[in-house]
Amino acid sequence: MNYELVSVLRVETDNWKQQKQRAINNNSKVITLLPDPFFTRYKKEEYENMMNIVDYVTKRTYDEKNSLFFDKVPMIDGAEIFMNADGIISIIKNGVRIGEMRTFPQSRRLVQDVTYFNDDGTKDMVEEYTFDGSIFSNIYYYEDRVQEIDFTNNDGQVCLRFYFYEGEMNLITVVDPTTNAVLESYDNMIQFQKAQLQKIVGPEDQINISYLGMELDVLEKTKSKNTLYLEESAFDGSTVKGNLKLIMDDQIQYVQQAVVKHEDYDQMVDQGLNVSKVRYVD
């Protein structure tokens, strides 16, 4: 099977337009790596044949016919909502602002997230909603810093947790939604993504990427045939970019081919570089 791999959809970029066209041409499935409450909207508006790694773990499905308007969000008893001129919706109880609500852009006021505050005005927690109106995650704060993010399935049960210490992610756990038992644990995001990607793709599959960052790192343990389509310049000044040079020198063996612009290929040849793993497009 053919796959296009990307950290998150940046639908306004030329990179995504090129990647989307490749996906259409090759009948590919697009895999996105990072959590994204907008995902169902992108599936509807951009490209239907997509999956997300977090949704894969939580087994979340989407119903494009469903939605949740801001005035239907479950509220704390006695709380009222007020629309502000800037579009932010305040949550008031006994005359005190205890939270705020945001709606998805250009969505006819479908709820995106609800933030609750502590008495001192710092964040207590955020409820994130998907575009189809179900809870996507609960984000917990201490002294205005993220401590934990819980990702839920369609039944609102927690299946995946991200933990943070002093602003840095230090643990990821996959948990049983019924018993809360830890099924898998990882030290960081890349470990987690590598493990999930290995479950999805096999030696017979083809994966294409467009970036030299996270998308490249998570391919390390795969057995698939992997190609980098570099839409940006292959050079920093007159020097080939670091990870691309590692691919060219076969120090990164899990990417078998790099596709670059014709002028970059010519410059590599002029510099006497090994281009056996490189081809160009006009």
43-66 pLDDT, tens digit each = 989 999 999 999 999 999 998 888
Express each pLDDT in 236-263 by its tens digit: 999 999 999 999 999 999 999 999 999 9
Per-residue model confidence (pLDDT) at position 41:
87
- Kindly list the structural domains of the chain, giving each domain's residue range(s) and its CATH number in brackets, ordered by start: 2-62+193-281 (3.40.50.2000), 63-139 (no CATH)
pLDDT score of 126 more than 90:
yes
List Cα–Cα distances, 171 to 131, 149, 174, in angstroms: 28, 11, 10
Q: How many CB atoms lie within 10 A of CB 123?
A: 18
Cα–Cα distance measured from residue 255 to residue 236, given in angstroms and rounded to the nearest whole number: 21
The 3-state DSSP class for residue 258 equals strand
Q: Any residues with CB less than 8 A from the CB of 29 and at least 6 apart, and which?
A: 1, 2, 3, 4, 23, 49, 50, 51
Q: Which two tokens stand for residue 87?
A: 């579009």
DSSP letters along 54-111, please?
HHHHHT----TT---BGGGS---TT-EEEE-TTSPEEEEETTEEEEEEEE-TTSSSBE
Express each pLDDT in 66-104 by its tens digit: 889 999 999 889 999 999 888 889 999 999 999 999 999
Express each pLDDT in 101-123 by its tens digit: 999 988 878 999 999 999 999 99
Provide the pLDDT confidence category of residue 219 given band limits of 50, 70 and 90: very high
Per-residue model confidence (pLDDT) at position 85:
84
pLDDT score of 183 more than 90:
yes
| Residue where the block lists tokens 């810093």 | 145
Question: Left, alpha or beta for 108 (phi > 0: left; psi -120 to 50: alpha)?
Answer: left
Cα–Cα distance measured from residue 239 to residue 250, given in angstroms and rounded to the nearest whole number: 17
Per-residue model confidence (pLDDT) at position 217:
97
Q: Report, as an integer, the average pLDDT of 3-15.
A: 95
Whether the Cβ atoms of residue 171 and residue 186 lie closer than 8 Å to each other: yes
- Percent of the chain having pLDDT more than 90? 90
Provide the pLDDT confidence category of residue 216 given band limits of 50, 70 and 90: very high
User: Average pLDDT, whole number, for the chain?
Assistant: 95
Cα–Cα distance measured from residue 54 to residue 42, given in angstroms and rounded to the nearest whole number: 15
- According to DSSP, the β-strands at 80-83 and 145-152 are unpaired
Cα–Cα distance measured from residue 183 to residue 180, given in angstroms and rounded to the nearest whole number: 9
**Residue 208: which of 138, 266, 249, 255 has the closest Cα?**
255
Class of residue 3 by CB neighbours under 10 A (exposed 0-12, middle 13-18, buried 19+) = buried
For residue 175, give the amino acid letter: V
- Percent of the chain having pLDDT more than 70? 100
Per-residue model confidence (pLDDT) at position 64:
80
**Residue 258: which of 233, 274, 280, 240 has the closest Cα?**
280
Per-residue model confidence (pLDDT) at position 130:
94
Provide the pLDDT confidence category of residue 224 given band limits of 50, 70 and 90: very high
Reduce the secondary structure of 136-169 to three states and give it as a string.
EEEEEEECCEEEEEEEECCCCCEEEEEEEECCEE
Q: Report, as an integer, the average pLDDT of 195-214.
A: 97
Per-residue model confidence (pLDDT) at position 61:
93
Express each pLDDT in 145-165 by its tens digit: 999 999 999 999 999 999 999
